[in-house]
Amino acid sequence: MRLLWIGLLSVSTLFATPIVLPENFQADFIQKITNAKKKSITYSGKVRFSDRNLLKWEYLKPTKKEVCTDGFELLVVDHDLEQVSFYLINKAFNLPAILKKAKPFKDKKTVFIAKYEGREYTLQIDRKGRLSRVAYYDDLENTVLIIFDKMKYGKGKLKPESMKCNYPENYDVIRG
């Protein structure tokens, strides 16, 4: 799991690109991370985005984790380890800024390339114009592919309690 998820933080409707993100969305996801030796790990779960910068990833397989952020702090709850980690975000994946840089790839209408802060992103949208895939290389030169499924775009904010990571009081707490 990479801190890519941090980045879906400041998502808003964009005018400069055909890729439009709503006020909120919910989707299933698959995240595949492949290293230079072609070894990979695949995570799956659910994601929710709301209120311009609230993001919650629920990893269900192969391990149960929750990752929540408000754009300033990242909270990772590892239920298998019974551990909670808090991190301040110093460099987030800024999806709106990336989408503003997105240019159609050749003559394709659903594939876009964006160069942002020295990194290249490949973005794909579905037939309805909803974000369906994001691919890039992370800081460790791993290939990261995120595939969204059952994407539901919505208006307004999601319920605040649905955006929080919850954990028992007996979990170990780490502040990083």
pLDDT value at residue 91: 64
Along the 176 residues of the chain, how does pLDDT read in single tens digits? Answer: 444 444 443 333 333 456 777 888 999 999 999 999 999 999 999 999 887 778 899 999 999 999 998 878 899 999 999 999 999 876 666 666 777 788 999 888 899 999 988 889 999 999 888 889 999 998 889 999 999 999 999 999 999 999 999 999 999 999 97
> What is the DSSP secondary structure assignment for residue 36, as one 8-state letter?
T
Burial string for 49-71 (b: 16+ CB within 10 Å, else e) reads bbbebbbbbbbeeeeebbbbbeb
> What is the DSSP secondary structure assignment for residue 16, as one 8-state letter?
S
For residues 24 and 49, what is the distance between their CA atoms, to the nearest angstrom? Answer: 5
Which structural domain, as residue segments, surrounds residue 88? 3-175
Q: In 3D, which of 145, 149, 147, 153 has the Cα closest to residue 121? A: 145
| CA angle (61, 121, 16) in 5-degree steps | 115
Full-model pTM: 0.81
Question: Which tokens sit at 110?
Answer: 């659903």
Give the total number of structural domains in the chain.
1
pLDDT value at residue 65: 97
| CATH number where 87 lies | 2.50.20.10
